[in-house]
Chain A
Amino acid sequence: MKNLFLISYLDIRESLRSKWFYVYAFVFGGLMGLFFISGITDSVVMGFTGLSRLLLVFMQVTIVILPIFILITTVKSISGDRESNILEYMLSFPISLKEYYWGKFLGRFVTVFFPVFVALLVGVLWGLFKGGAIPWGMVILYSLLILSLCLSFLGVAFFISTLVKSHDVGLGLSFAVWVLLLAFIDVALIGLMMQNRVSDGVVITIAMLNPLEAFRIGAIALFDPELTVIGPVAYYLLDTLGHGFLMLYAVVYPIVVGALFAFFGYALFRKKDLL
């Protein structure tokens, strides 16, 4: 275990010196912090009714940018090290593949999650400073949703990173996964729904198997428990799952997806040639 934490520590130190980390922290920390600060204070303290629109914009930003940022910065974790022969040297020391892989995973999780989480905390502190009541339940759930989304895409990114030999192929694959989950599945499902070839229940189930969709619904449900902005699908989801289970699903399911992909990635890392 000591080597696992050593690898994590070194990965974090390395990330903290990287330009991508500063861009990441600036884009997400700053943007999310600003959005969240204005969102929470406006809705809880002043009771603005137009908040849902603002939050939808905010969620769209998160949904679009967070996954691609995680994928692009993480996919080079193993494949980039392999291509540049760093992996060959670092793995010539007596550390197990388990410690190396999961140490990298842990380190990268810290660097992608904490800037967003810290921005959230800053928002909360700012709300407290202004004297407003903080909806702690919402803050905790939102943190869990972001954690869940981060883990989900970290798992996918590590899987891609171990699957491919070339960093460029990894980037291409990451982009394909991002576009698929962000838009292509939805477009295909809308087409299916319009043609009435399969039942609406099947279409909605397929849509909800997309971790990005699970996050989107969970995030909307946080601020709009009736899910009015998503139209009639809300009735199906709330009647079938109920609000509580829907939230649980939105948090747990992406983590399960991420964990599965991370474990598949680890299995590949162990079974394939390292270089």
Chain B
Amino acid sequence: METSTVIVDVENVRKRFQGATVLDNVNLQISLGDRVAMMGPNGAGKTTLVRCILGFYHIDGGRIQVAGHDPVKERVEVLKSVGFIPQLPPPVKLTVAELLRFVERSSGTSAEMIAQKAREMELDVVKHSQKPFFKLSGGMKQKLLIAIALARRSRLLVFDEPTASLDPRAREHFYEMLQAIDYEHAAIYITHRAEELAGLVNREIYMDLGKVVDDERV
């Protein structure tokens, strides 16, 4: 593997919560061009691993580098390269306009680009701009979060069950938009439904009991 293209480098990572080992010497490298489906049963450590990669958790051992930076010590540098969509849209109390302003000012993504991505998913951002984000329907919230993540043109996209709140039509739009991404990037999809991602992913990682138990190219 060429080290120059590695965007995520996880080396012997251990994480414990209240005495329980959640990540047990995990080793993983994700390169630009990888589209990874991360699977495994509940409690396997998928979300914990992603949260460590995003710098939300302090690891108990090992090393993580994202785009050549430590996610905890250099979180700003790391997060410039990352677009994240959580499993459930958080009940953010900002209006849509305020949320877009936050995204625009913090990450330099233009609100117009976000609006354009949202339109591709049949969501009119302007119409809902003065509504509090948490008052949008579940599907609309998820569409907006997807639009924000894709508009940021991040080198690493991290999706935690991104289509959970979407109807079948919106899912189709989402998959089309993913296939239309025209720049070099890597993506991690945490999912329980690998069949839905067929054609989108080129690598499947299976985790169980805090370990990577299977990692294969598809």
Q: In the complex the two chains form, what is the Cα distance from A94 to B79 in whole Å?
A: 5
A140 at interface by CB-CB < 8 Å: no
B10 at interface by CB-CB < 8 Å: no
Q: Is the CB of A94 within 8 A of B106?
A: yes
Given that A2-B105, A89-B84 are contacting pairs, would A94 and B90 also be in contact in the complex, using a CB cutoff of 8 Å?
Answer: no
A53 at interface by CB-CB < 8 Å: no
A3 at interface by CB-CB < 8 Å: yes
Q: In the complex the two chains form, what is the Cα distance from A17 to B51 in whole Å?
A: 31
Q: Is the CB of A14 within 8 A of B80?
A: no
Q: In the complex the two chains form, what is the Cα distance from A117 to B76 in whole Å?
A: 36
Q: How far is the CB of B195 from chain A (nearest CB, A)?
A: 27
> How big is chain B's contact interface, by range?
20 to 34
Segment of B92-100, B115-123, B164-172, B209-217 in the binding face: B92-100
- In the assembled complex, which residues on chain B have CB atoms less than 8 Å from the CB atom of A85? 86, 88, 90
Task: How many A-B residue pairs have C-beta atoms within 8 angstroms? Tell me.
Answer: 75
Per-residue CB contact flags for chain A residues 91-104 toward chain B (1 = under 8 Å, else 0) read 11111110000000
Chain A residues 79-111 with CB under 8 Å of chain B are 84-86, 88-97
A6 at interface by CB-CB < 8 Å: yes
B102 at interface by CB-CB < 8 Å: yes
B155 at interface by CB-CB < 8 Å: no
Q: Is the CB of A96 within 8 A of B75?
A: yes
Q: In the complex the two chains form, what is the Cα distance from A263 to B156 in whole Å?
A: 33
Q: In the complex the two chains form, what is the Cα distance from A177 to B113 in whole Å?
A: 48
B136 at interface by CB-CB < 8 Å: no
Number of interface residues of A (CB under 8 A): 26
A274 at interface by CB-CB < 8 Å: yes
Q: In the complex the two chains form, what is the Cα distance from A18 to B132 in whole Å?
A: 11
A45 at interface by CB-CB < 8 Å: no
B62 at interface by CB-CB < 8 Å: no
Q: In the complex the two chains form, what is the Cα distance from A272 to B57 in whole Å?
A: 8
Q: How far is the CB of B78 from chain A (nearest CB, A)?
A: 8
Q: In the complex the two chains form, what is the Cα distance from A50 to B16 in whole Å?
A: 64
Q: Is the CB of A86 within 8 A of B91?
A: yes
Q: How far is the CB of B106 from chain A (nearest CB, A)?
A: 4
Q: Is the CB of A275 within 8 A of B86?
A: no
Chain A residues near B (Cβ < 8 Å): 2-3, 6, 10, 13-14, 17-18, 84-86, 88-97, 271-275
